[in-house]
Amino acid sequence: MTGTARIRGGGAPGSSRIGFLASRIGSALTMLLGVCTLVFLLIHLVPGDPVEVMLGEGARPADQAALRHALGLDRPVWAQYLDYLARLSRLDLGQSLHAQRPVSDLLAERVGPTAILAVSSLSLAILLAIPLGVLAAQYRGRVVDRAAMTFSMLGAAVPNFWLGPLLILVFSLWLGWTPVSGREGALSLILPTVTLGTGMAAVLARMVRSSVLEVLGEDYVRTARAKGLGPAAVLWRHALRNAWLPVLTLIGLQFGALLGGAVITETVFSWPGLGSLLVEAIQTRDYPLVQGAVLLIALTYLAVNTTTDLLYAAMDPRIRAV
């Protein structure tokens, strides 16, 4: 930290809640532009001529020229970039090469299933991790703690693309309780949710535990006990209120891993979401669609992180004032 951060209060200009909100949203908007730029540059990373890669080597020059023109690749890069931004501002993500339909339409069809999967996995992770982490911290070194940490260790180590097939094998093929893949009814949601939620729950439980442990060692927890408060009041009113803050940030960050994991999990379960769409697009070299899917997922992540930041600020009076 620079010397500037040490100064508290002092009535320096811009030290209001609105100021914080404005600066946080301003930085999110800058990031938005940056993300769009990076996604735009993605297509220029294609080795050789992207048109040739897309159409295959035996394509006729006339077709190549037509596609090149359609994609705007025959114009200078800066012109392409400005054009790209202009189209983005109209929510025009271009045409899918493969499906010959607007990318935005394809994405719109797939957003719903991914949102359902992400929300259910996130809920599972939070509902599992928070009680587990808090219990482990409170009974540090005892059986509960060791069991929770073993789960956490294993859960964090199991790759999605392996856990998925194993669950399918046991619950769909052997026991026949759930459908193997696809999206038919509520039952089909269970296995993908467990696959995707386990890893996050594991990481989160560990973080909750260490955050609670750290807070329990703080001086103000000792103050609370010196006041004569009981263990429940100390834990809920003093320890957890502070422990939530880093956990909240981590949930935001872990949401990225969740979105990335969704790409794999959706592929495993043939779940008709954005992730499996992205993989299909990559396999068919449908670059406008790849760009569109990556952009949408990245922007979702950005929105989630900005939201957690603002929530953090709302919960922490220290930031509220700065």
Partner 1 sequence: MTEPLLQVEGLITELGETARPLRVVDGLDLTIRSGETFALLGESGCGKSMAALSLMRLLPPGGRILSGRVRLGGTDLLHLTEAEMRSVRGGRMAMIFQEPQTSLNPVLSVGVQIAEALHVHGEGSDGRNRRRVVELLRAVGIPDPEQRADEYPHQLSGGMKQRVMIAMALAGDPGLLIADEPTTALDVTIQAQVLSLLGDLRRETGMAVLLITHDLGVVAETADRLAVMYAGQIVETATVSEFFAGPAHPYGRMLMESLPSAEKRRGRLATIPGRVPPLDRVFSGCRFADRCASVMPLCRERIPEWIGLGAGRGVRCHLWSEGEASHPGPARNAAEPESGASERPSGSVGEIGSPLLKAVDLKVHFPIQRGLFRRVVGHVRAVDGVSLDLSLGRTLALVGESGCGKTTVGKAILQLIAPTSGQVLYLGRNLAGLGHRAMRPYRKDLQIVFQDPYASMNPRMLVGDVVGEGLQALGIEWTRAVRERRVADLLELVGMDPESARRYPHEFSGGQRQRICIARALAVEPRIIVCDEPTSALDVSVQAQILNLLKDLQSRLGLAYLFITHNISVVSYLAHEVAVMYLGRVVERGGVEEILTDPRHPYTRALLSAVPVVDPEKRRVVIRLEGDMPSPSNPPRGCHFHPRCPEATSRCSEGYPPEVRLGASRYVSCLHLD
Partner 2 sequence: MAICAPLLDLSPDRVDLTAILAPPGELTLLGNDDLGRPVLDRLLAGARTSLLVGFGVVAVSASLGTLIGALSGFVGGWLDLLIVRVLDLFMAFPGILLAIALAGVMGPGIENVIVALTVVGWVGYARLARAQVLTLVHRDHVAAARALGCSGGAILLRHLIPLTIAPLMVEATFAVSGVVVAEASLSFLGLGVQPPDASWGNMVRDGVSYLLVAPHLVVAPGLAILCVVLSVNLLGDALRDRLDVRSRRS
Residues 89, 283, 317, 318: which binds partner 2 (CB under 8 A)? 283
CB contact at 8 A, 239 and 212: yes
CA 224 vs CA 216, 227, 238, 317: distances in Å: 11, 5, 7, 19
The verdict on 298 binding partner 2 (CB under 8 A) reads yes
Query: To the nearest whole angstrom, how small is the minimum distance from the Cβ of residue 223 to partner 1?
Result: 5
- Give me 306's structure tokens: 């900005």
User: Closest Cα to residue 248, out of 304, 197, 194?
Assistant: 304
The verdict on 18 binding partner 1 (CB under 8 A) reads no
Residue whose token pair is 């949203």 = 25
Query: Which CB, 21 or 154, lies closer to partner 2?
Result: 154
The verdict on 34 binding partner 1 (CB under 8 A) reads no
Residues 279, 310, 313, 319: which binds partner 2 (CB under 8 A)? 279
Taking the CA atoms of 57, 59, 65 and 68 in sequence, report the sign of the dihedral they define.
negative
- Give me 207's structure tokens: 């973080």
Residues 13, 47, 185, 230: which binds partner 2 (CB under 8 A)? 47
CB contact at 8 A, 24 and 309: yes
Residues 17, 69, 142, 237: which binds partner 1 (CB under 8 A)? 237
Query: To the nearest whole angstrom, how small is the minimum distance from the Cβ of residue 129 to partner 1?
Result: 21
Residues 70, 116, 310, 315: which binds partner 1 (CB under 8 A)? 315
Check residue 286 and report its DSSP letter.
-
**Relative orientation angle of helices 241-269 and 287-315, to the nearest 10 degrees:** 160
| From partner 2, partner 1, none, interface partner of 277 (C-beta below 5 to 8 A by class) | none
Which residue ranges make up the site for partner 1 (CB under 8 A)?
A: 2-4, 7-14, 19, 23, 26-27, 30, 218-220, 222-230, 233, 237-238, 241-242, 245, 315-318, 321
